Structure 1
């Protein structure tokens, strides 16, 4: 009987040790993050598995912070709404650009990725800059910075600006000649061109109209999670863990100095 009791105590102790593993600072909380896994190579579905730069990055950040977590694929607009409410989801990670407008409704982690919007057209297109898109048909993902930028150029009621639910649909529009161009983040555009070498596509940069922007982990206003994530992200960038994830997905070294200069 004593031996059986000792085995039960040992089993309970072991279970407690396993459940506490990697959660030194969580207070028993399992943090839930939302994403829109339709943004390869940043976050996307590989059969039934969620993967991508953001997914690997978050795994390293939460490991560094010692916090248990899960990520759910719920779509872009639903993610924005859910994180803003701060009830079911405590954060969002989905290549979310840090903008002054969004800061009115959300908090962010410190920046973790530099991006730029790019123009994608078919070979032979007369488009050379964003200004040339004013009288063209353009596809963007709705509620993104690409949407904001092209709305300023083309006008809010311009029917030639197609605001679609995701970039996959926008790219399909270009492929099927439904639009003259797509405007999207550089990582998305580069990945699509790399995977479709026979489609004769051209990437156009326009630093005058499309300045660098930075991604952050999206948080509800007043989130206590920011104080836990920021030091973990900073340490990850400084100790080389960030560069390792970056090189895995983009095949080159990130400019971490420029990243750390951002606030």
Structure 2
């Protein structure tokens, strides 16, 4: 797991123009970008005991900002409000383990990929579930409108009453632990982190070959090429100098 040592950069919110680009600069003349996130997704983005937003995604964005010569200020929106916040220009871009999908690309622009993930199943230790197909007659908890939600909806049906959709992944897992669902499905990094940090809760993870690789990108308002170019410049630099691999532990295609 990557070191989560880098905290917030910046303190005051700058004004945001109609195209979604921040008008704020610091005293040294660097542009400051406002970044939206859902800080409930450890180890990718979450709050520390002092209220700072930290995590692997945050460390990556800090590295991108340093490489491309801008500063960032983070705002915790939650998952569902994050998308309109980008669309209406409240933030310059969003980082929140956002998988790049064809559907999302119809409404938003995405940076080059910076992280690879896949879905993972979490069940009680005594569960008889051995594969994704075994969930066909089960109740499954997910975070609403995530890729985990999408794959479960493909299996159970989009309007299935067996899908327990919650606002956050920790709530989805709690629903399963409390007996309101038989399994949870979510991004592998988050489920592995939860299991590691809750050793007294008897859970097991199940991988399934049907889950495809997913690529995270930074989400930008449609048409905001200036911000997109800046982010891609930073991503290219931290790929080239090895910083991205240092943070994540693997190469990103």
Q: Same fold (TM over 0.5)?
A: yes
Stretches of structure 1 that go unaligned for 5 or more consecutive residues are: 1-17, 247-252
Structure 2 CA distance, aligned partners of 1:83 and 1:143?
A: 16
Structure 2 CA distance, aligned partners of 1:227 and 1:185?
A: 27
Shift of 1:245: 2.0
Alignment of 1:72 onto 2:75:
yes
Structure 1 CA distance, aligned partners of 2:233 and 2:138?
A: 45
Shift of 1:212: 0.6
**What residue in structure 1 maps to residue 154 of structure 2?**
152
Superposed, 1:130-149 pairs within 5 Å as: 130-149=132-151
User: Residues 153-178 of structure 1, C-alpha deviation per residue, up to 9 Å, x if partnerless?
Assistant: 00112111011100111111111111
Structure 2 CA distance, aligned partners of 1:108 and 1:183?
A: 24
Structure 2 CA distance, aligned partners of 1:100 and 1:75?
A: 22
Structure 2 CA distance, aligned partners of 1:207 and 1:101?
A: 23
Superposed, 1:209-224 pairs within 5 Å as: 210-223=211-224, 224=226
**What residue in structure 1 maps to residue 64 of structure 2?**
61
Shift of 1:74: 1.0
TM-score (norm 2): 0.87
Shift of 1:231: 1.9
User: Residues 173-219 of structure 1, C-alpha deviation per residue, up to 9 Å, x if partnerless?
Assistant: 111111100000000110011111222211111122x1110000011
Larger radius of gyration: 1
Shift of 1:45: 0.5
State the SS of the aligned residue for 2:200: helix
User: Residues 64-98 of structure 1, C-alpha deviation per residue, up to 9 Å, x if partnerless?
Assistant: 1111221100111111111122x211100000000
Alignment of 1:19 onto 2:20:
no
Considering only aligned residues, what root-mean-square deviation do their CA atoms show, in Å? 1.4
Shift of 1:241: 1.2
Query: Runs ≥4 in structure 1, deviation > 3 angstroms?
Result: none
**What residue in structure 2 maps to residue 91 of structure 1?**
93
**What residue in structure 2 maps to residue 15 of structure 1?**
none
**What residue in structure 2 maps to residue 113 of structure 1?**
115
TM-score (norm 1): 0.83
**What residue in structure 2 maps to residue 193 of structure 1?**
195
Structure 2 CA distance, aligned partners of 1:207 and 1:142?
A: 23
Shift of 1:38: 0.1
Stretches of structure 2 that go unaligned for 5 or more consecutive residues are: 1-25
State the SS of the aligned residue for 1:102: helix
Structure 1 CA distance, aligned partners of 2:36 and 2:138?
A: 34
